[in-house]
A and B are shown apart, each in its own frame.
Chain A
């Protein structure tokens, strides 16, 4: 059976800024009860799309100077910043969107 919904509960991660030039920089805010395992979420997503990366507590470095993902936890909100560089603008945008989808939907799975 197919299910239709007008509003998705995954819409608790919002893109609040986006700046593109040579690099793409985005800031997101995630509203959540408990901080999810961002390191695992982003690292596994990058692995899935064949982008090698080095996870560290609080940030992930894409290898070959391709970018950086950082997150800062507050009581109810996580502020996430991503910077992607060294790809075409189109690929930077696709990678950012893929990471945003992962952030939104991993939140659902971890609850």
Chain B
């Protein structure tokens, strides 16, 4: 199956620890990931590698639900999880100091499902949509933390 990658980076005017703390609590993701409707059944409650949760995602009109697992949690530098059911993807947030602020990079690697590509006509269109989503996520994160 072909794979794709979406990445976006921005400086957020808060300390890296604050960004990490905001990202690392899984249920909070509904506030900055467009289309993510719900996170539930988080086990255990504390963020750590091995933590799992269930998600529901409204993907352009389709409700997609599945399970995710935290694979790396290195405060305040890196938080990573994988979707372990459905379409496989790996989401990595890297947080680096930039003076008193944080340089945040979101990197999403995913498999491109053939049926989704067929629905949206071409692989480049699908990839552009995911790239736009990455940009929107980082932009929303910046909005939530700065203002």
Interface stretch of the complex, out of A14-22, A56-64, A83-91: A83-91
Interface size class, chain A: 20 to 34
Count of residues in B whose CB is under 8 Å from the partner chain? 25
Q: Which residues of B contact A90 (CB under 8 A)?
A: 140, 143, 147
| CB–CB A94/B40 < 8 A | no
Given contacts A48-B28, A101-B37, A109-B40, contact A6 B143 (CB under 8 A): no
Known: A98-B31, A101-B37. 11 other contacts (CB 8 A): A2-B64, A3-B66, A4-B64, A10-B38, A49-B28, A49-B31, A88-B147, A91-B143, A94-B32, A95-B31, A98-B30
* B37 interface neighbour in A4, A95, A104, Cβ under 8 Å: A104
Q: From B113, which residue of chain A is reached at the shortest CB distance?
A: A2
Tell me whether A10 and B37 are in contact in the complex, defined as CB-CB below 8 angstroms, given that A91-B143, A98-B30 are known contacts.
Answer: yes
Q: Is the CB of B63 within 8 A of A6?
A: yes
A contacts, CB < 8 Å to B = 1-8, 10, 48-50, 87-88, 90-91, 94-95, 97-98, 101-102, 104-105, 109
Contact B38 A101 (CB under 8 A): yes
Considering the complex, which residues of chain B in the window 34-83 have a beta carbon less than 8 Å from any beta carbon of chain A?
Answer: 37-38, 40, 56, 58, 61-66
